[in-house]
Each structure stands twice: as C-alpha cells, then as structure tokens.
Amino acid sequence: MNQTNKTLSLYHKLEKYPFGNKLFSIMVSRIAPYFATISPKISELVPNQCTCLIKKRKKVFNHIKTVHVIAICNGLEMAMGVMAEASVPKHLRWIPKGMTVDYTAKAGSDIRCVAKVNAEDWKPGDMLVNITAYDENDVVVVKGNIKLWISEKPKV
C-alpha cells in the first residue's frame, strides 16, 4: 500500500500554482545538482510513475544537433529518482545499482522521460524500473531499465 510522503505532498502542493512544476523541478535539481545540466521539468508525478521533460536546446545537443543520449539518460534517472522518492514504502529505502539502455531512434525534438514500476515491486532485493524516452511524436528514442537495490530501513 502506498502512502503519501513528503516528496509527493510537495509536488501536489506546488503543482496548483503557475510554474509550480518548474519550481518543484528546480528544488530537485538543487538536491541533486547534476540534474540542472538539462534544465528538466517534472510534468507528472503519481505513485510509481514520473514524467520529466527535456527541451531540445543547444546545451543538450550532440554533434548532429539532436538531444544527446547522456542528457536523455540524465532525464530518465531524474524521473526514476523522483518516482522512487514519491513511491517507496516508509519502511524501505533505495539506491541505484545500474542502468541499461538501448538507443532506438534519433532524438530530434523535446524529450519526455518516463520512469514506471508496479506497486507490488517494492520489496527488498533488486528491482527494475522501466524507463522510456519519447520524442514529441511519441516515438521511443531510448528504452531500458534502472536497477535499484531495495532494503529495509534500519530499526532505530
């Protein structure tokens, strides 16, 4: 069973305001500063799913002026991290162990990064988070998974 936590509560509080999603995204980028390199925007956050948008702009280009796959991986990792923080049951904790991705198409537009799990996947051990990046025409440009290690929080 999923209970509302601080991350999800803050998102819901801010999303009611103009630029609330952008403000939430900036706050996440201050906690994990590398995310700021792509100027991400969390556009949707519900338990077990998060969507992060990356604008196609010069600072995320590769040599052929498409969105660099590492920028996309950064967006996918942000979506995963925010989803995990908003979804992890209170008695568990998580840490990433690895990422596996396939580059399936050129990323020639803004990119929508989605991280998703099933609620029943939250149990101790390895957990795979499905990650997919789409262009503005819903073409999958990157797909894969991020492996998390899920463990019980220490008893205090």
What is the residue-averaged pLDDT of the chain?
Answer: 94
Strands (E), 47-124: 49-54, 92-103, 111-116
- Of 4-18, 34-48, 91-105, the one with minimum mean pLDDT is 4-18
- Report d(CA 103, CA 105) in Å as an integer: 6
Residues contacting residue 6 through CB under 8 Å, at least 6 positions apart: none
0.85 exceeded by pTM: yes
Evaluate whether the domain defined by 6-152 bears CATH number 3.10.129.10: yes
Output the pLDDT for position 4: 61
Q: pLDDT band at residue 155, thresholds of 50, 70 and 90?
A: confident
**Token digits for 153?**
């929080």
Read off the pLDDT of residues 93-107 as tens digits, 9 standing for 90 and up: 999 999 999 999 999
- Report d(CA 67, CA 103) in Å as an integer: 12
β-bridge mates for residue 98, sequence order: 147
Does position 1 have pLDDT exceeding 80, yes or no?
no
Strands (E), the chain: 41-46, 49-54, 92-103, 111-116, 125-134, 140-152
> For the chain, what is the radius of gyration of the CA atoms?
15
Does position 61 have pLDDT exceeding 50, yes or no?
yes
Read off the pLDDT of residues 63-74 as tens digits, 9 standing for 90 and up: 999 999 999 999
Q: Return the domain boundaries, the chain.
A: 6-152
Output the pLDDT for position 2: 44
